[in-house]
Structure 1
Amino acid sequence: MEIFKLVSFGIIGMLIFLLFRDRKDVISVLISLVTGTIIVIFIIDKLFAVFSFMQEISNKANIDTVYLNIVFKIIGIAFITSFGSEICKDAEASNIAHKIELSGKIMILVLAIPILMSLLESILKIM
């Protein structure tokens, strides 16, 4: 199964990371970054399958694709923010990690404004 390969690769990457963590911080961070990137590359096709499924459902439900694209962008921002934040935490730069998380939350809030406005307009029409 694919999940066993991914988890095994992650565990091997973590063990190599732990070997170099005490000696060279730069190498350990690079190992963490490469391991995480390779795992994401392995699962990217699964993500595209989920996105195409969601797009198919939205087409059947006659949902405007603008809103679906916003949701996809929000999901992407959440994943990228989490990935960057965890890399910074591995490098013991938690202060930068928190700033990355904050910026991701603000970007998500900005992208969610059109959805919130549409929801409020729908509520006002009902009233």
Structure 2
Amino acid sequence: MEIIQVVGVGLIAAILILIVREQKPMFAFLLTAFTGIALFLMLIGKISSVIQVLEDLAVKSGINMIFLKTILKIIGIAYIAEFGAQIVRDAGQESIASKIELSGKILIMVMAIPIVSVIIETVVKMIPA
């Protein structure tokens, strides 16, 4: 029932932010950022258990761990970029949020190059000469 806790924290924070925003906008922004970080920390245990299951599956299936770690890094980049962009949007900086998202996409593309290379090499080997 973690979702009830997550929604509860979110609702309480939203109410506090609405109350505080008129008097202290900077404090409201800090409360928004802190709430996002707190929610993420509440779920870190779930994230680590998912990573453990994926690692176990990779070992059982014989997949090279480098590929799994790369994919996990790509997923991490996507989540961190989205989280950062949302916080910056909350501060009213849409332009910077867009740049964060673009940077995340570029980093994902760079991280994916080794995997794409292996896929292309595998396909080329399968084509009869």
- Structure 1 and Structure 2 fold alike (TM over 0.5): yes
The one-letter amino acid of 1:55's match is E
CA distance in 2 between counterparts of 1:107 and 1:70 reads 12
Aligned residues: 127
Q: Which residue of 1 aligns with 2:70?
A: 70
The one-letter amino acid of 1:47's match is I
Q: Which residue of 2 aligns with 1:40?
A: 40
CA distance in 1 between counterparts of 2:121 and 2:93 reads 43
CA distance in 2 between counterparts of 1:28 and 1:96 reads 19
After TM superposition, the runs of 4+ consecutive aligned structure 1 residues lying more than 3 A away are none
> Residues 88 and 97 of structure 1 are in contact (CA less than 8 Å); yes or no, is this contact kept in structure 2?
yes
- For structure 1, list consecutive stretches of 5 or more residues without a partner in the other structure: none
- For structure 2, list consecutive stretches of 5 or more residues without a partner in the other structure: none
Q: Which residue of 2 aligns with 1:102?
A: 102
Relative contact order, higher structure (CA 8 A, sep 6+): 1
Q: Which residue of 2 aligns with 1:14?
A: 14
The one-letter amino acid of 1:64's match is N
The Cα shift of 1:117 comes to 0.2
Q: Which residue of 1 aligns with 2:51?
A: 51
The one-letter amino acid of 1:37's match is I
The Cα shift of 1:73 comes to 0.4
Q: TM (normalized to structure 2)?
A: 0.95
1:125 correspondence with 2:125:
yes
